[in-house]
Amino acid sequence: MKNDPVGIIPATSADRSVIAQLIQLYLYDMAAQTPFDIGSDGRYDYALLDDFWQYPYLIYWEKQLVGFALVIDHCPVTGQSPCWFMAEYFVLRPYRGKAIGQRAFAQICARHAGLWHIAVQVQNTLAEGFWQKIVPKTGLQTRAAQFDGAHWRVRAFQMS
């Protein structure tokens, strides 16, 4: 993490349960704009962790766990491969607005050079605002897409 209080650490299989728990908070946040049913066990159903467990990261602020990122090597929304895709990205509410998400994203991109796609469901206005602010503008291409019955906005850009 060097001198920056924001750091990312690749998650290991031992961290899987931590990310699974953070996903519950992530889905709870998203449910404010995109309703999800909760199971009889009081948890949101999330069946994509196996698919998205390619390049998992834990996000830290001053050595405190504050979020996670799941990066994969193809874009399920556009079918593009090879392509880095931010499958899931989450920073806990108390740590938002401090540029933690932006700095962690920059660190993740630095580890994965090449074409990137960031896809956001159009109705998720909070995520849309975040990605619009932090995705590099140089060479940025934006397009609409339909995927899994929803409308998406896809941002494509190159990282060197």
Does the pLDDT value for residue 31 go beyond 70?
Answer: yes
Q: Quick one: pLDDT at residue 160?
A: 87
Give mean pLDDT, residues 15-29.
97
User: Left, alpha or beta for 23 (phi > 0: left; psi -120 to 50: alpha)?
Assistant: alpha
What's this model's pTM, rounded to 2 decimal places? 0.94
Tokens describing residue 54: 């390619």
> Which of the four CATH numbers 3.90.79.10, 3.40.630.30, 3.20.20.80, 3.40.50.720 does domain 6-113 have?
3.40.630.30
Domain ranges of the chain: 6-113
- Give the pLDDT confidence of 132-142 residue by residue, as tens digits: 999 999 999 99
User: Left, alpha or beta for 62 (phi > 0: left; psi -120 to 50: alpha)?
Assistant: left
